[in-house]
Chains A and B, each alone.
Chain A
């Protein structure tokens, strides 16, 4: 299939109208780094590349437009200082310079692949999404955004932006990824966010990617850690809970057994890095 029509909307409302009013298979396109790698292209595309590339700190909330590139996130110092380098670290582990200059946050989420690198960091930051549909805009937690491999709540709607609260001062956070090469998609990825009071974990957020039909928050491990000492034993047990929450598949990048082991190893490593104990 070839792209027969190219639409260039000037507002989100217009973009959604174009998507809804055309017949045939259509797709929003921004960075193009996922869509143009597909063997089958849609009949029409609605270009949102230059429509939604805003990034801002809005009061106590960070706002990232869906068409903001990975490079924009990588170079956003205000964000890097506030989230302990979590999103910056994710951007740095994301493909090549050229791809980072093209690929967008919205595309990474809207493609809804289980390995989407930005999903775990945004899940631990407790991000919400703003989605534009024909009936207007609505907000929902990112946790409710993914519904399966390559499936999200979007259908014909447009992901407009992602918002998350500015982390409390002193928040520790870490993103880790295992891939065959830095440019390849993740075999397992994990994000951890900790708020400590002395040696006690007051708040824990843990999310994993590429080990379940969607990226997942590991609530069991979070609850287990909270109000407990940041000890090796507790980190080990939380990592094992993360491993139990995962249901990885076997594919050409890694087997079920390998991914399962790596869930544990990577979660433990991320927890240790958060408290400055590098492995």
Chain B
């Protein structure tokens, strides 16, 4: 079997991209190599959730996806959340509530929260806890992120009302 690179076509944060990848490459490693450093790699076993991205709108842990499996799909990373200097309302709320300490889990949490609020505009605490169950934080815990997500959901609802 000859080893050669294949072209992976992806829409990343709304932009069409083409990457050369190996059959062996994980999507998480490809995204990092291409400069999307918001995609962290913590465990490579799907436990820590810090490599969370949205794939066709749904949060996944992209360390457990072969890059070529994503062919033709749409990936959203934390780099796509802010518009210029204008932070996304969920990012703003994380700052307001002091929901960030070391920040390693934060991109994953933000994306999990974004997918949740998209699906459930007014999530309960239990729904937020479930949405964050795959994003491990070892610093501040979860109370502040939960409060931030509740606050962001309220603000986003008011903005669209």
Taking beta carbons and an 8 Å cutoff, which residues of A are in contact with B? 2-6, 8, 24, 29, 31-33, 36-37, 41, 43-45, 47, 49, 71, 95-99, 101-102, 182-183
Instruction: Assess whether A37 is in contact with B45, with CB atoms less than 8 Å apart.
Output: yes
Which chain B residues border A183 with CB–CB below 8 Å? 47, 133-134
A37: nearest residue on chain B (CB-CB)? Answer: B45
Instruction: Assess whether B66 is in contact with A29, with CB atoms less than 8 Å apart.
Output: yes
- Chain A proximity mask over B37-71: 1 for CB below 8 Å, otherwise 0: 00000001111010010010011110111101101
* C-alpha gap A29/B66 in the complex (Å): 9
Q: 17 more A-B contacts (CB under 8 A) besides A3-B24, A8-B68, A102-B46?
A: A2-B24, A6-B68, A24-B1, A32-B64, A32-B65, A36-B26, A36-B44, A37-B45, A43-B1, A44-B1, A45-B23, A95-B134, A96-B134, A96-B135, A97-B133, A97-B134, A98-B49
Please judge, given known A-B contacts A36-B26, A37-B46, whether A49 and B58 are in contact too, CB under 8 Å: no
Pairs of residues from A and B, 6 with the lowest C-beta to C-beta distance, nearest first: A96-B134, A6-B23, A2-B24, A98-B134, A3-B24, A101-B58
B9 to chain A, nearest CB (A): 13
B116: nearest residue on chain A (CB-CB)? Answer: A97
B6 CB–A CB distance under 8 Å: yes
Instruction: Assess whether B69 is in contact with A71, with CB atoms less than 8 Å apart.
Output: no
B119: nearest residue on chain A (CB-CB)? Answer: A75
Q: Which of B26, B52, B69, B130 meets A29, CB within 8 Å? A: B69
Instruction: Assess whether A32 is in contact with B49, with CB atoms less than 8 Å apart.
Output: no
A2: nearest residue on chain B (CB-CB)? Answer: B24
Which chain B residues border A33 with CB–CB below 8 Å? 46, 64
Which chain A residues border B26 with CB–CB below 8 Å? 36
Give the total of B residues in contact with A, Cβ under 8 Å. Answer: 32
Q: Which of A6, A47, A101 meets B60, CB within 8 Å? A: A101
Taking beta carbons and an 8 Å cutoff, which residues of B are in contact with A? 1-3, 6, 22-24, 26, 44-47, 49, 52, 55, 58-61, 63-66, 68-69, 71, 112, 130-131, 133-135
Please judge, given known A-B contacts A37-B45, A98-B46, whether A47 and B69 are in contact too, CB under 8 Å: yes
Instruction: Assess whether B65 is in contact with A8, with CB atoms less than 8 Å apart.
Output: no
Q: Which of A2, A47, A95, A98 meets B68, CB within 8 Å? A: A47
A82 to chain B, nearest CB (A): 23
Instruction: Assess whether B66 is in contact with A99, with CB atoms less than 8 Å apart.
Output: no
* C-alpha gap A238/B95 in the complex (Å): 55
* C-alpha gap A32/B62 in the complex (Å): 10
* C-alpha gap A4/B46 in the complex (Å): 23
Instruction: Assess whether A36 is in contact with B71, with CB atoms less than 8 Å apart.
Output: no
Q: Which of B2, B22, B24, B130 meets A97, CB within 8 Å? A: B130
B47: nearest residue on chain A (CB-CB)? Answer: A183
B32 to chain A, nearest CB (A): 16
Which chain B residues border A47 with CB–CB below 8 Å? 66, 68-69
Please judge, given known A-B contacts A32-B64, A96-B134, whether A8 and B71 are in contact too, CB under 8 Å: yes
